[in-house]
Structure 1
């Protein structure tokens, strides 16, 4: 026989971790100083956050979160405070949109969705309009110099609203950076962006549901009077909600990745075949020239 047709050995977990670590290190080294400082700042922030969780203890944090929700609920304008906070965290480079949706569930139960959904829609629209019309020249000058960004604009322009919706409900890029992403793409109109944002409502409802189920378990008094069966049911519902959010997020990310495959930049920075069925070997998310897209969002 000529040639070995024996199956290739599967990579071990250690091998995958090693390659992933080396890849991240190479990407980090290619970043400009400002990018490196931003990554280090976020890393430091999350390290401090994790340390505080261990020092303060999760039980006390959960109780504080529950007490905060009840104080907001007791105020007649509590809904307006939550809506204002959602607006603030929708402005780049703020983070915490999912946490705010959980807090809506903590505060009002499932009725918190009536605050979370419209507040998120209005907040993202405000950010989009401000970035597009007040900082439009800056965004255009940047995107015109970025070849991959121009190719991405071409793909979105060709595939239209369905791709915009798919990217918007995907977990990548995150909420706040998705606002910036679409504001910088001139082919996306305000109404298309708002329609795509409205398609995120089922995901928002899921996050509110998780917060609503976590609330009674976070309060020490309610836990004391809660029978074991009720506790187990609440925990199971929370786990199912989290698993559903993660699973749907990865499925949507895979769909977005598949839709963006086939962007092969030519010498002018644009792909002539962006509307054709993608080739497995040409992926925007794996192409070396796509690194500027990942870094920018």
Structure 2
């Protein structure tokens, strides 16, 4: 039986996490989220990048921004070397780097969910970005006095550049997500509070249920069941943030069994619904 908790989460414990990686194998096979913002620069390879219900064939110089609510997945189409730079940043860290006049989280937050995630850097912008990341790598590898300040300066410069590029972007990437997968995601999203079965999906799309399941798993890395559970947990989190009780959040997000809701929520979120609600209630406005 397929594991209903296939969705992967990468917890980010530090203020930021910088990685410059080159691989010849697939990473990020499953849709996942981070507990932080992500700045991602694609340098080379043969890669499809999935964000929510869209998919893009990346081109060297593509810069992506992702917030903690956006599911995403990179998939190497072959064993070509896949090089990218990823920087994960905690919300609190971006807040400290920002000023009243310069909100460095703007490119992550001020856009519709799953939309406007990609820009393509011009040659001079890419060169500037790589200069900043090279200086950041030097600061992170150093034990000299002031290395943390230098790293913060590099990150601030990178974020100013990223925000400036996104503010002035006119680039529209081509979405290559198969219609069936996108329509299945849209159907699930609009029927979360109701029962969703393979038979219903087969009847809606007039296709064999096995074919729908196989195509969905091929492009998301997830079973339909695990995807539905995740979307319902995300809905329950929003209800808890709005002040609904745990019982109300459970049933209004489509869970028919309270014990299963508690177990699923704790497994996916990492804390119980009760602790999540208390933690959210204690956060400043």
TM-score range, shorter chain: under 0.3
> Which of the two has greater strand per residue?
2
TM-score after normalising by structure 2: 0.22
> Which of the two has greater helix per residue?
1
Structure with the greater alpha carbon radius of gyration? 1
Flag the structure with more relative contact order, 1 or 2, with Cα contacts below 8 A and sequence separation at least 6.
1
